Amino acid sequence: MRIIAIDPGYERLGIAILEKERDGEKLLYSSCFTTSAKEEFSKRLLQIGERLRATIEEWKPEVLAIEKLYIEKNQKTAMRVAEARGVVVYEAGRANLRIHEFTPLEIKTAITGYGKADKQQMMLMVRKLVRAEIESVSDDEFDAIAAGLTCFAYGKK
């Protein structure tokens, strides 16, 4: 099974492609797609959709794993992230992907066994769980990889 996993954002969008193999989960691709704050927001959403569509067409995943939003402080930012997330879900639906959403708590629990794990604990476990060299990737890529691994851990198909 091949998964496209997304850490949603409109300035930075973490993207990972993972595949389940007999001997574990393999990271095929990861990226942090960025948009410019100088662009109109609608143009940034269009860029996200176009990038996601191209990635889906290239890698042909069967499933989207995406993090649910957790609104902590800035509601204006959260609304914008929600809109970018909507573009991602739309593109996945357009491509007939099965969509699985996970809360940050579910992701942390699946990856570390502890729902309040910090960023360093998450990064350490992601490196241990995935079959690929993960050197200098962004936090957004790590979060996307973690969402994909969570999809495998929960046995979602």
**Residue 23 appears among annotated catalytic residues:** no
Catalytic residue among 19, 67, 91, 143: 67
Residue identified by tokens 């662009």 is 39
Say how far apart CA 133 and CA 137 lie, in whole Å: 10
**Residue 7 appears among annotated catalytic residues:** yes
Strands 12-21 and 130-131: unpaired
Contact 131, 97 (CB under 8 A): no
**Residue 62 appears among annotated catalytic residues:** no
Contact 56, 95 (CB under 8 A): yes
Catalytic residue among 19, 91, 140, 141: 140
- The residues, any chain, with a CB within 8 Å of residue 121's CB and separated by 6 or more, are 112, 114
Amino acid at 110: A
Half-sphere exposure of residue 47, counting CA atoms within 13 Å on the CB side? 16
Catalytic positions are 7, 67, 140
